[in-house]
Structure 1
């Protein structure tokens, strides 16, 4: 009898946090704040940014001028009133004590906060991210070495297929088509749908999945799902549909 593997502890929980239309506060206007701003806007958040204009990074200036999801206040952080209605808070300022003060105010109000370069004052880390359309990969060292996370991310990025974004999009479209043919939530049907999609995703290469078009998806569903099978590749699916 094999001994169960003990779970790794003392790490962070890596999750995909849905920020669409949530309110994010960013305190700071430098390069780090600019990076944070781009990341949360990429998740469709609504952002309030507080920083004196004389220290504002050029990227932030461009975004503030062109993006109506950003509300900018040309001043320093003032106090608890700046945290009203906030779902996530980020600080990226040089004043460590001020960051810690903002952190305490946020935690008192149960607002998750990240204070740049102060790991003990962070409820979460950003890590080093790869984003190709809907595909997102996060490399985190749990605050131990951001540069190492960046180097590891680069290695992963170098081995990803060029068309991996299309692969992910096509699998999503295939799942949507399958749900139309076999609607419903949970139960045996749900398990069968999941099992069939797993087989398609593992038996077909990433490149084959990236090459799927609507006609090919319909043929795959006809010759695969409807017959409770999975063609080994595109050629087999096409041959079966033309037989």
Structure 2
């Protein structure tokens, strides 16, 4: 019998935006898969160590090493490499070695991803679309990475080309709003007001918004009003007059 609440659908994974800034991530392997993993964690501002014999490096991984974007250890994995590590990504063509590494990580409670072995993964990598601060991930829970890529491309093709820039401007506005209304009890009001801005203004308006526009718009936070972009630019938004002898 169906109830009034969402029906539980088992078999999924919990999709999170994992913050690994300044965390120590160990990548074991130096081939094409390792190269993709390295890009993912570097984009998330992690501190990356790569362990792989030099003859196993592909051109991209060798480039990251030459540019000192990662710390490099020229040899095969050793258990001591796990000391002080926050996350492990394994991408080697040795199933037995991969399983042993996973067991070691499990014993040390280090989250690990073993490439192409879903049962030995604490988390999966999805197919990600990136546009500035916007990230959209499609996951098949390890069932079909290629299909995830196809779905991700279809979703990305339907997005407005300026959505990333609009999100950057919204982020800047939120930071300014926190400065003028920093109290914790203001939280619900800040969220409600920002929601009104995002719903009332078009993506084009948000992209065009500059610092002067933001300052003018923030003048309407206290009474909870959200004038249109055109009204803000004209400098005489409707409803701005508060009944006293001056504009809000």
Q: TM-score range, shorter-chain basis?
A: over 0.9
Question: How many residues of Structure 1 are paired with residues of Structure 2 in the alignment?
Answer: 237
Is the alpha carbon distance of 1:217 and 1:161 closer, same or farther for their aligned partners in structure 2, counting shifts above 3 Å?
A: same
Alpha-carbon shift at residue 56 of structure 1 (Å)? 0.5
- 1:238 paired residue among 208, 214, 233: 233
Q: Mind listing any 5+ residue stretches in structure 2 that lack a counterpart?
A: 239-248
Question: TM-score, normalised on structure 1?
Answer: 0.92
| Distance (Å, rounded) in 2 between the aligned partners of 1:242 and 1:17 | 41
Determine the structure 2 residue equivalent to 1:74: 74
Partner-residue secondary structure (3-state), 2:27: strand
Deviation, structure 1 residue 240: 5.6
Three-state SS of the structure 1 residue aligned to 2:236 is helix
Aligned match of 2:8:
7
What is the CA-CA distance between 1:10 and the residue it aligns to? 2.2
Partners of 2:204 and 2:129 in 1: CA distance: 19
Q: Which residue pairs with 1:143 in the alignment?
A: 142
Among 173, 198, 202, which residue is 1:201 paired with? 198
Q: Distance in 1 between matches of 2:68 and 2:160?
A: 32
Question: 1:79-98 alignment to 2 at 5 Å?
Answer: 80-98=79-97
Partner of 1:210: 207
User: What is the TM-score with the length of structure 2 in the denominator?
Assistant: 0.90
Instruction: After superposition, give the CA deviation of every residue in 1:185-242 in whole Å (9 maximum; x if it has no partner).
Output: 2x2x2111110001111221222111111111122222x31332112x3113334636
Deviations 1:10-61 (CA, angstroms, capped at 9, x unpaired) = 2111111111111111111100000101111111111111111112010011
Tell me how far 1:4 sits from its aligned partner. Answer: 2.1
CA drift at 1:90: 0.6
Aligned residues of 1:196 and 1:225 also touching (Cα < 8 A): yes
Report the Cα offset of residue 81 of structure 1: 0.7
Cα separation, 2, equivalents of 1:7 and 1:208: 39
Structure 1 stretches of at least 4 aligned residues deviating more than 4 Å after TM superposition: none
Q: What are the within-5 Å matches in structure 2 for residues 62-211 of structure 1?
A: 62-68=63-69, 70-78=70-78, 80-185=79-184, 187=185, 189-211=186-208
Match of 1:48 in 2: 49
Q: Give the CA deviation at 1:166.
A: 1.2
SS at match of 1:180: helix
What's the CA shift string for 1:152-175, capped at 9, x where partnerless?
A: 110111122222221111001111
Moved more, 19-28 or 8-17: 8-17
1:20 match: secondary structure: coil
